[in-house]
């Protein structure tokens, strides 16, 4: 039996509002919340909502901590396409999360293996992740765990698929998209106490249908959410149209 909860909203904006509401309510209950944070275009309006909630005094991250889900390998920190830069621009610059409680993978490191060990140790030292926010790739990847990633995988260097590199090319404005990345593993993600996956738009239909209705296994990384005791997929009706198990 899957513990996966599915929320289907009429519009993307409703779905985003609900996902942001889950974060603010978890923070209200636990100001020391340890968050895991995804990137991607889906998350841009989600982070905008969190920034607004903060600006309006409805949400504070002053006692919280945050771990970045993944990062490209070989990009300097200040590269506009790095996820470090993305999270700074879309979230950190507009909220009160203390810098010393922001933990990001250093994709520019020459020693990826020890960087990944350092990151896993930092998650453990923080007491684990309370709420991991996820997007989903069109091939159902979570983080940069491409199809084939083991469900017990930990933070590690990975090769990106051509599909993922093509999907993410926009952020690189004609430059070459890195071929490698560092990512929390699926096992690392499953170790979070709660998972929240946000998917909007028709482009994610097949990926979400595979995750919710298909066989559970490494060929569909997001299907791992069905093995977690407290996971929610929040999506809009457009994304949910191909779902068998839930009628929007
Ligand atoms: C990247 C990130 C994922 C994210 C995915 C979807 O590959 N590594 O964490 O879920 O993109 O991004 P988008 O929301 O732009 O479709």
Per-residue pLDDT reduced to its tens digit, 39-58: 999 999 999 999 999 999 99
**33-41 mean pLDDT:** 97
- The pLDDT value recorded for residue 180 is 97
By CB atoms closer than 10 A (0-12, 13-18, 19+), residue 121 is exposed
Q: Whose CA is closest to atom 12 on ligand 1? A: 40
CA of residue 135 to ligand 1 center, whole Å: 6
2 pLDDT tier (thresholds 50, 70, 90): low
58-89 per-residue burial string, b: 16 or more CB within 10 A, e: under 16: ebbbeebbbbbbbbbbebeeebebbbbbbbbe
120 catalytic per annotation: no
What tokens appear for 201 in the block? 């738009």
Share of the chain above pLDDT 70, in %: 98
Give the residue with greater pLDDT, 91 vs 1.
Answer: 91
Q: Whose CA is closest to atom 6 on ligand 1? A: 137
Cβ within 8 Å of residue 124, ≥6 positions away: none
246 pLDDT tier (thresholds 50, 70, 90): low
115 catalytic per annotation: no
Using a 6 Å cutoff on CB, does residue 239 contact ligand 1?
no
Q: Is the pLDDT of residue 245 over 90?
A: no
User: HSE (CB half, 13 Å, CA atoms) of 93?
Assistant: 8
Q: Are 159 and 180 in contact (CB under 8 A)?
A: yes
- The distance between the two most distant Cα atoms of the chain, rounded to a whole number of Å, is 48
- The pLDDT value recorded for residue 247 is 45
Q: How far apart are CA 101 and CA 15, in angstroms?
A: 28
Using a 6 Å cutoff on CB, does residue 243 contact ligand 1?
no
CA of residue 194 to ligand 1 center, whole Å: 19
Q: What is the pLDDT of residues 183-214, one digit of tens each?
A: 999 999 999 999 999 999 999 999 999 999 99
Q: What is the pLDDT of residues 57-74, one digit of tens each?
A: 999 999 999 999 999 999
Give the nearest ligand 1 atom to 136 CA: 10
Residues of the chain by 3-state class (helix, strand, coil), percent to 5: 40, 20, 40
Q: Are 97 and 61 in contact (CB under 8 A)?
A: yes
Q: What is the pTM of this model?
A: 0.96
- The pLDDT value recorded for residue 78 is 84
Q: Whose CA is closest to atom 5 on ligand 1? A: 137
Chain center to CA of 31 = 20
Which among 115, 139, 168, 194 is annotated as catalytic?
139
- The pLDDT value recorded for residue 185 is 98
What tokens appear for 226 in the block? 């069905």
Q: How far apart are CA 156 and CA 120, in angstroms?
A: 10
Count CB-CB contacts under 10 A for residue 98: 12
Which among 141, 168, 194, 236 is annotated as catalytic?
141
Calculate the CA dihedral of residues 59, 61, 62, 65 and round it to 10 degrees. 160
Q: How far apart are CA 76 and CA 144, in angstroms?
A: 18
What tokens appear for 188 in the block? 């690392």
Using a 6 Å cutoff on CB, does residue 143 contact ligand 1?
yes
CA of residue 40 to ligand 1 center, whole Å: 4
- The pLDDT value recorded for residue 207 is 97
Using a 6 Å cutoff on CB, does residue 40 contact ligand 1?
yes
Q: What is the pLDDT of residues 81-120, one digit of tens each?
A: 999 999 999 999 999 999 999 999 999 998 999 999 999 9
- The pLDDT value recorded for residue 242 is 84
Residue with tokens 């926009």: 170
- The pLDDT value recorded for residue 170 is 92
Q: Is the pLDDT of residue 28 over 90?
A: yes
- The pLDDT value recorded for residue 1 is 45
139 catalytic per annotation: yes
Beta bridge partners of 233: 6, 197
3-state secondary structure of 48: helix
Which among 70, 71, 130, 194 is annotated as catalytic?
70
**164-177 mean pLDDT:** 94
Q: What is the pLDDT of residues 217-232, one digit of tens each?
A: 999 999 999 999 999 9
SS3 sequence of 3-71: CEEEEEECCHHHHHHHHHHHHHHHHHHCCCCEEEECCCCCHHHHHHHHHHHHHCCCCCCCCCEEEECEE
Give the nearest ligand 1 atom to 160 CA: 7
Q: How far apart are CA 88 and CA 56, in angstroms?
A: 20
Q: What is the pLDDT of residues 138-147, one digit of tens each?
A: 999 999 999 9
């Amino acid at each position: 039996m899957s513990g996966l909860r599915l929320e289907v909203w009429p519009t993307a904006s409703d779905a985003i509002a609900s996902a942001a509401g889950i974060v603010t309510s978890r923070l209200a209950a636990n100001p020391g919340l340890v968050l895991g944070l995804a990137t991607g275009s889906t998350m841009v309006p989600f982070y905008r909502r969190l920034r607004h909630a903060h600006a309006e005094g409805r949400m504070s991250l002053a006692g919280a901590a945050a771990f970045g889900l993944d990062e490209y390998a070989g990009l300097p920190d200040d590269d506009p396409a790095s996820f470090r830069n993305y999270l700074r621009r879309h979230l950190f610059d507009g909220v009160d999360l203390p810098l010393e409680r922001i933990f990001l993978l250093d994709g520019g490191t020459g020693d990826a293996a020890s960087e990944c060990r350092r990151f896993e140790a930092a998650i453990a030292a923080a007491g684990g992740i309370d709420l991991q926010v996820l997007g989903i790739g069109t091939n159902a990847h979570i983080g940069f765990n491409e199809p084939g990633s083991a469900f017990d995988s930990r933070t590690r260097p990975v090769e990106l698929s051509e599909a993922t590199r093509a999907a993410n090319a926009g952020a690189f404005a004609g430059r070459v998209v890195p071929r490698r990345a560092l990512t929390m593993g699926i096992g690392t993600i499953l170790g979070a106490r709660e998972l929240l996956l946000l998917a909007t738009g028709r482009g994610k239909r097949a990926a979400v249908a595979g995750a919710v209705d298909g066989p559970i296994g490494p060929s569909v990384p997001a299907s791992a959410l069905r093995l977690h005791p407290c996971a929610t997929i929040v999506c809009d009706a457009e994304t949910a149209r191909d779902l068998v198990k839930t009628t929007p």
